[in-house]
C-alpha cells in the first residue's frame, strides 16, 4: 500500500507522521512554521484535524458536556475545547500546499462526512480515523468508500470495535487498512503501551499496524519499530512555550528529531535475516580461537593437550580439529606460538 509516494510495508522504512493537532494555538503563521519544522525534524508526513466545534459536538454546558476525570482539559466544555483546538478550514489549502512544497505527505483526520468531502477537494492521499471516532461506523464507511488508505487509532477500542471498523472498511471495498496501537491518555504512561497488542492485531485482523503515541520520550516508538510498526505518529509542536491544549504531550523540534533518529537507528539495527559476515566482522575473525603450538614441538613428536591448545588469535586450524590431531605425529618442528596447520600433521584429517 502507498500513501502518496511512500510505500507502507515491513520491508520499507517506518512512516513517521507529525501530528499538528492544536499546536498552532490559533495562529496560521505558527502552523506554517510548524510544517517547515516537521520537515527539518525528519517527519515523512504532517497530519491535520478537520472539524469545527459544530461538526464534532454541540454548544451545551450541562453535565454531559463538561470535561472532568483528571484530564488536561478538566473544567472546559467539549465545545469550548474544540473551539480552541480546531484548525480553521480556510487554512487547509494553504497548509496542504505548504507541506507539499516541503516534500511532506499531508493528510487529515475527518470528524464528519462534510470533512471527508472537503478533504477530497484537497486531494488528500489518506484518511486517519481518530481513536474517539472508531465507533463512528457511518464516518468510517464513508471515508473508506473513497478508496484511499484508512489509518485508524485504537485508543478506546475494544476488540469488537476494531473488528467492526475493519469489517466496515472491507465492506466498502477498501482493504488498505492500518491500525495504530494507541493509549488514549494524555500524556500516556509507558507501562500502558502494551505493544504486544500491536503485534497481535496484525495477526488477528490481517492489516498493517503501527503506533499513535502519547508517551513522552523515545522508548515506546523504538520498541514499536522493533516489533514491526510500519507507522509512527507523534504530536509535534514548534515550541512548547506556544501552549495550547496538546502542548503537554507533544514533542518539540529537538525531541521529535531525536525520536526520528532513534527510530531510524532501530530500523538499521533490525537489518535483514542473514548469516553472512560483513567484511568488518570477517576481518575480526582473526581474534577468534584456533589451534596453536603452546610449546616447542619437534618433528615426529606427538601432539598432546600440553603442546597444542585452542587459544586466541584465529590464524590456526579450527578448534573442532583438536581431538582429531591429538596423538598424531608432527611432520615438522614447530616453534611455540606458531599456528597449527594441516600440512604439519601426519596423516590427512
For 323-341, how does the pLDDT look when each residue is reduced to its tens digit (9 = 90+)? 999 999 999 999 999 999 9
- Output the pLDDT for position 338: 97
312 and 170, same structural domain? Answer: no
Q: Average pLDDT of 250-270?
A: 96
Query: Which residues lie below 8 Å from residue 10, measured CB to CB, with a gap of 6+?
Result: 228, 230
Number of residues assigned to the chain? 349
306 and 233, same structural domain? Answer: no
| Single residue among 234, 251, 270 that ends a domain in this structure | 270
**28: buried, middle or exposed (CB in 10 Å: 19+, 13-18, 0-12)?**
middle
233 and 289, same structural domain? Answer: no
Hey, what's the cell of 48?
491535520
Bridge partners (DSSP) listed for residue 90: none
For 15-69, how does the pLDDT look when each residue is reduced to its tens digit (9 = 90+)? 999 999 999 999 999 999 999 999 999 999 999 999 999 999 999 999 999 998 7
| Single residue among 270, 297, 326 that ends a domain in this structure | 270
Asked if residues 144 and 129 have their Cβ atoms less than 8 Å apart, the reply is no
The answer to the question of residue 131 being in a domain is yes
Instruction: Check pLDDT > 90 for residue 348.
Output: no
The answer to the question of residue 80 being in a domain is no
The answer to the question of residue 126 being in a domain is yes
Specify the residue for cell string 485504537.
Answer: 154
The answer to the question of residue 47 being in a domain is yes
| Single residue among 239, 270, 301 that ends a domain in this structure | 270
136 and 111, same structural domain? Answer: yes
For 102-138, how does the pLDDT look when each residue is reduced to its tens digit (9 = 90+)? 999 999 999 999 999 999 999 999 999 999 999 999 9
Asked if residues 20 and 48 have their Cβ atoms less than 8 Å apart, the reply is yes
133 and 113, same structural domain? Answer: yes
174 and 102, same structural domain? Answer: yes
Return mean pLDDT, the chain: 95
CATH number at residue 37: 3.20.20.70
Which among 3, 6, 16 has a CA at the least distance from the CA of 261? 16
* Coil, helix or strand at residue 200: helix
Q: Cα-flanking dihedrals φ and ψ of residue 128, to 5°?
A: -115, 125
286 and 154, same structural domain? Answer: no
Share of residues in the chain with pLDDT > 70 (%): 99
Q: How far apart are CA 227 and CA 210, in angstroms?
A: 9
Which among 94, 144, 91, 152 has a CA at the least distance from the CA of 120? 144
Looking at 227-295, list the stretches that DSSP marks H as alpha helix, in order from N- to C-terminal side.
Answer: 253-270, 279-284
323 and 230, same structural domain? Answer: no
Measured from the Cβ of residue 202, the count of other Cβ atoms closer than 10 Å reads: 18
Tell me which H or E stretch contains 169: helix 159-171
Asked if residues 1 and 12 have their Cβ atoms less than 8 Å apart, the reply is no
Q: 348 vs 137, 159, 186, 297, 343, CA distance in Å?
A: 76, 66, 72, 19, 9
CATH number at residue 320: 3.90.1210.10
- Output the pLDDT for position 349: 52
259 and 303, same structural domain? Answer: no
Instruction: Check pLDDT > 90 for residue 237.
Output: yes
Q: How far apart are CA 10 and CA 228, in angstroms?
A: 6
334 and 261, same structural domain? Answer: no
The answer to the question of residue 332 being in a domain is yes
For 156-206, how does the pLDDT look when each residue is reduced to its tens digit (9 = 90+)? 999 999 999 999 999 999 999 999 999 888 888 999 999 999 999 999 999
46 and 93, same structural domain? Answer: yes
Torsion of CA 136, 142, 145, 151, to 10 degrees: -40
The answer to the question of residue 63 being in a domain is no
Domain range for 154 is 2-51+86-270
191 and 153, same structural domain? Answer: yes
- Find the angle CA(244)-CA(246)-CA(250) to the nearest 5 degrees: 120
pTM: 0.88
The answer to the question of residue 42 being in a domain is yes
Q: How far apart are CA 170 and CA 111, in angstroms?
A: 20
Q: How many domains does the chain have?
A: 2
The answer to the question of residue 56 being in a domain is no
Amino acid at each position: 500500500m502507498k500513501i502518496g509516494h511512500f510505500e507502507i510495508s515491513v520491508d520499507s522504512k517506518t512512516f513517521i507522521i507529525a501530528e499538528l493537532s492544536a499546536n498552532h494555538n490559533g495562529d496560521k503563521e505558527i502552523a506554517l512554521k510548524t510544517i517547515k519544522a516537521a520537515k527539518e525534524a525528519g517527519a515523512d508526513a504532517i497530519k491535520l484535524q478537520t472539524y469545527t466545534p459544530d461538526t464534532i459536538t454541540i454548544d451545551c454546558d450541562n453535565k454531559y458536556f463538561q470535561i472532568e476525570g483528571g484530564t488536561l482539559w478538566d473544567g472546559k466544555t467539549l465545545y469550548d475545547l474544540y473551539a480552541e483546538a480546531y484548525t480553521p478550514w480556510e487554512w487547509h489549502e494553504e497548509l496542504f500546499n505548504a507541506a507539499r512544497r516541503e516534500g511532506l505527505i499531508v493528510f487529515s483526520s475527518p470528524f464528519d462526512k462534510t470533512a471527508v468531502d472537503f478533504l477530497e477537494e484537497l486531494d488528500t492521499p489518506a484518511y486517519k480515523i481518530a481513536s474517539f471516532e472508531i465507533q463512528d461506523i457511518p464516518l468510517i464507511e464513508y471515508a473508506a468508500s473513497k478508496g484511499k488508505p484508512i489509518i485508524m487509532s485504537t485508543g478506546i477500542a475494544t476488540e469488537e470495535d476494531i473488528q467492526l471498523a475493519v469489517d466496515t472498511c472491507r465492506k466498502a471495498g477498501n482493504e488498505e487498512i492500518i491500525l495504530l496501537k494507541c493509549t488514549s491518555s494524555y500524556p500516556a504512561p509507558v507501562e500502558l503501551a502494551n505493544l504486544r497488542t500491536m503485534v497481535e492485531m496484525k495477526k488477528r485482523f490481517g492489516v498493517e499496524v503501527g503506533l499513535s503515541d502519547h508517551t513522552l520520550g523515545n522508548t515506546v516508538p523504538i520498541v514499536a519499530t522493533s516489533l514491526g510498526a510500519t507507522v509512527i505518529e507523534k504530536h509535534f509542536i514548534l515550541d512548547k512555550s506556544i501552549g495550547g491544549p496538546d502542548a503537554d504531550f507533544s514533542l518539540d523540534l529537538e525531541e521529535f528529531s531525536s525520536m526520528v533518529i532513534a527510530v531510524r537507528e532501530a530500523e538499521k539495527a533490525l537489518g535483514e535475516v542473514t548469516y553472512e559476515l560483513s567484511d568488518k566482522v570477517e576481518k575480526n575473525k582473526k581474534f577468534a580461537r584456533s589451534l596453536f603450538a603452546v610449546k616447542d614441538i619437534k618433528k615426529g613428536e606427538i601432539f598432546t593437550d600440553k603442546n597444542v591448545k585452542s587459544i586466541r588469535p584465529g590464524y590456526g586450524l579450527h578448534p573442532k580439529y583438536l581431538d582429531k590431531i591429538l596423538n598424531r605425529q608432527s611432520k615438522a618442528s614447530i616453534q611455540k606460538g606458531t599456528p597449527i596447520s594441516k600440512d604439519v600433521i601426519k596423516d590427512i584429517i
